[in-house]
Amino acid sequence: MGHAGARAVIPFVREGDDLVATFEAFEAALLASLVGQVADLLGGSGPVTHEQDPFAQWAAEFRAGVDLDRSDPVIARLFPDAYEDATAAGEHHRFSQEALRRGRIEDAEVVSAALVPIGEVGGAVVVGPEAVEAWLRVLNGVRLALAVRLGVETASDYDQLSALPARDPRAQLVDLYDWLGFVQESLLEALADE
């Protein structure tokens, strides 16, 4: 993944109901690391438990919620306010944030489970129909987090960053942002091929 935008990943293609891509070992390890970093930011250490009783699950989520640092721009971007009114937005977060947070962590676990085994040798990742949405949400979330850290808010911001010389440390992050977009786009294109 040099500044020129070289891509070693073989894009996703449809094979029956599955979507398959091949990653180099470093790509799988890098993507798994990024996914893990976002999950950690969300308080994703430890397994997510599932209750059979939906009410018991809701009550547990309400009691045991993790307070996310809403001053972190990545958290603010991943969990935007649903209302302009601060009180209404706070209430919305109070009642919905834990379920959304857990959903993002569960999605990260799905993606990590596919990437970690090939992180040392590279190989094919098979995304079944039940995992496609998780992959799309995770790739989008990681890319959003990276955009926030890079300060990309407009197309002009991106254009300025894209013009950075290769020696600028941000240039590698821009390449990573582009690469994640390429992986996400190839997944979407393979999904559309029916």
pLDDT digits (tens, 9 = 90+) for 46-98: 444 444 555 555 445 444 456 777 778 888 888 888 888 888 878 877 788 88
Q: Would you say residue 186 lies in a domain?
A: yes
Do 11 and 191 contact (CB within 8 A), yes or no?
no
Report pLDDT for 49: 41
End-to-end CA distance of the chain: 30
| Choice between 72 and 183, residue whose per-residue pLDDT is larger | 183
Per-residue pLDDT for 183 more than 60?
yes
- The number of beta carbons lying within 10 Å of the beta carbon of residue 23 is 23
Closest CA to 180 of 38, 43, 18, 71: 38
| Mean pLDDT across 89-115 | 89
Q: Would you say residue 4 lies in a domain?
A: no
Spatial strand order in the sheet of 123-127: 10-15, 18-23, 123-127
Beta-bridge partner residues of 21 = 125
Ramachandran class of 129: left when φ > 0, alpha when ψ lies in -120 to 50, beta otherwise = alpha
Q: Would you say residue 2 lies in a domain?
A: no
pTM: 0.81
Report pLDDT for 53: 52
Report pLDDT for 66: 62
| Mean pLDDT across 155-182 | 94
Q: Would you say residue 69 lies in a domain?
A: yes
Q: How many domains does the chain have?
A: 1
* Exposure class string for 110-121: b at 16+ Cβ within 10 A, else e: bbbebbeebbee
Q: How confident is the model at residue 99 (pLDDT cuts 50, 70, 90)?
A: confident
User: Where in the sequence is the domain holding 165, given as residue range(s)?
Assistant: 10-45+52-192
Q: Would you say residue 90 lies in a domain?
A: yes
Q: Would you say residue 5 lies in a domain?
A: no
Q: Would you say residue 111 lies in a domain?
A: yes
Q: Would you say residue 80 lies in a domain?
A: yes
